[in-house]
Amino acid sequence: MARSSYLFTSESVSEGHPDKVCDRISDAILDLFLSKDPVARVACETLTTTNRIVLAGEVRCAGAIKDDEIEAAARRAVRDIGYEQDGFHWETADVQNYLHEQSVDIAQGVDEGSGSFADEGAGDQGIMFGFACDETPELMPAPITYSHQILKEMARQRKSGERPEFEPDAKSQVTLRYENGRPVGVTSVVVSTQHKDGVSLDDVRELVRPVVKSVLPEGWFPPEDEFYVNPTGKFVIGGPDGDAGLTGRKIIVDTYGGAAPHGGGAFSGKDPTKVDRSAAYVARYLAKNVVAAGLARKCTIQLSYAIGVSKPLSVYVDTHGTGDVDEAKLENRLRELVDLSPRGIRTHLGLNRPIYERTSAYGHFGRTPTEDGGFSWEKTDLVDALKSLA
């Protein structure tokens, strides 16, 4: 039996966190390739440390992309985040590029499929999950939503000059109390933020306080002794200078904050033939439409694939006892509405576009679709077709 009363916590990290710097660079390079060739293949990994950026992975592109264009994309990403520090500066960091041509063994499975599957195959085997719930207007779990919003607002204030005391590296954590399975209040908030040298810990606390209050619902601010700001003390040295970063190390931050399963595959730096990314996006799309249609208050969807095989090996729907529709019928209906082959997913969601750099911080889900096709997996255009199942 599911518990009805409990505490649940999620964390987020800012765009200046070392791992998120790497995600941003990897996705900036992905967008560069897709801007030249919509069917480019990219698997770009990034390592950052003190004044150093290292790129590695596999690429394939019909258009010519010079090394200096790749380096420029990496530097621009770091500049936009806001790193101009002695230990990590967008202009002076050493950039090493070890990207190389995609393996022909991998390419043949993706290009041609395998066995009797003539359509384009999946770029890898694996399981992917999508989730939605009615806790927030974004149909996302509340703890991760508030954690993202705190850091996003701090970044906005830093970049606008409203709060120049803030530096790019930061983390947040929000714990909510649930009663009868619904969030009813916040029991604690943790924010650790890099700051300018000379700013006192008391000042940092009071700069963070109004940000948290602006994000949380009225009356949900935690007790004073459960409001933690920089609990370890001074935080001046941060970002890749303070701790090395790697692409793909914040996958729970990227998705649902631990409130739902994660298949294990990271997203950033991967073109949409990689089902780690595209199938996770379509699984979220389907789950969100199920909840938006009023068929369930909570929905988890699992998809599975084999490398070189176009069709999903399984489609699983779980409405956690909150739905009024037979889940097997829902599985069949979703497969009718969306072609869940890798090519079908990319076509339906319009994924062969340079829309990925913007996903690299503050979550891939719960965002607003944009006119140029960004966050297309957040649309709820299947609602009318699904309501007929009610």
The catalytically annotated residue of 8, 11, 15, 19 is 19
Mean pLDDT of the chain: 94
* Nearest by Cα to 291 from 325, 253, 339: 325
Maximum separation of any 2 CA atoms in the chain, in Å: 66
What is the predicted pLDDT for the residue at 114?
43
The catalytically annotated residue of 171, 288, 346, 364 is 171
pLDDT 10s digits, 151-178: 999 999 999 999 999 999 999 999 999 9
Active site residue 249: yes
CA 13 to the chain's CA centroid: 11
The boundaries of every CATH 3.30.300.10 domain in the chain are 6-12+143-238, 126-135+275-387
Is the pLDDT score of 98 beyond 80?
yes
Active site residue 36: no
Active site residue 243: yes
Active site residue 159: no
Active site residue 379: no
What is the predicted pLDDT for the residue at 388?
87
* Nearest by Cα to 254 from 384, 127, 140, 150: 140
Domain 6-12+143-238 CATH (choose: 3.30.300.10, 3.40.50.620, 3.20.110.10, 3.50.30.50): 3.30.300.10
CATH number of 126-135+275-387: 3.30.300.10
pTM of structure: 0.94
Percent of the chain with pLDDT over 70: 95
Is the pLDDT score of 315 beyond 90?
yes
- Determine which of 104-108, 146-150, 162-166, 245-249 has the lowest per-residue pLDDT on average: 104-108
What is the predicted pLDDT for the residue at 390?
76
Give the Cβ contact number of residue 372 at 10 Å: 11
Cα(247)–Cα(139) distance, integer angstroms: 27
What is the predicted pLDDT for the residue at 4?
79
Active site residue 387: no
Is the pLDDT score of 105 beyond 90?
no
Active site residue 270: yes
Active site residue 167: no
Residue 245 tokens, joined: 């970063």
Active site residue 274: yes
What would the mean pLDDT of 192-209 be, rounded to a whole number? 97
What is the predicted pLDDT for the residue at 111?
59
User: Which stretches within 268-308 are classed as H helix?
Assistant: 275-292
Active site residue 329: no
The catalytically annotated residue of 276, 318, 357, 378 is 276
- Strand ranges (DSSP E) for the chain? 6-13, 41-49, 52-60, 84-85, 88-89, 94-101, 126-133, 166-179, 182-195, 227-229, 245-246, 298-305, 314-318
Select the more confidently predicted residue: 108 or 303: 303
What is the predicted pLDDT for the residue at 298?
97
User: Which is it for the CA torsion 282, 286, 291, 297, positive or negative?
Assistant: negative
Burial of 232 (0-12, 13-18, 19+ CB in 10 A): exposed
Is the pLDDT score of 146 beyond 80?
yes
Cα(209)–Cα(203) distance, integer angstroms: 10
Is the pLDDT score of 374 beyond 60?
yes
Given a contact cutoff of 8 angstroms between Cβ atoms, the answer to whether 128 and 254 are in contact is: no
Is the pLDDT score of 86 beyond 50?
yes
Distances (CA, A) of 149 to 152, 228, 357: 5, 17, 18
What is the predicted pLDDT for the residue at 117?
41
pLDDT 10s digits, 243-277: 999 999 999 999 999 999 999 799 999 999 999 99
The catalytically annotated residue of 17, 41, 333, 364 is 17
What is the predicted pLDDT for the residue at 113?
47
Select the more confidently predicted residue: 288 or 108: 288
What is the predicted pLDDT for the residue at 362?
98
What is the predicted pLDDT for the residue at 2?
67
The catalytically annotated residue of 249, 262, 343, 379 is 249
Residue 333 tokens, joined: 């209906």
- Strand ranges (DSSP E) for 196-353? 227-229, 245-246, 298-305, 314-318
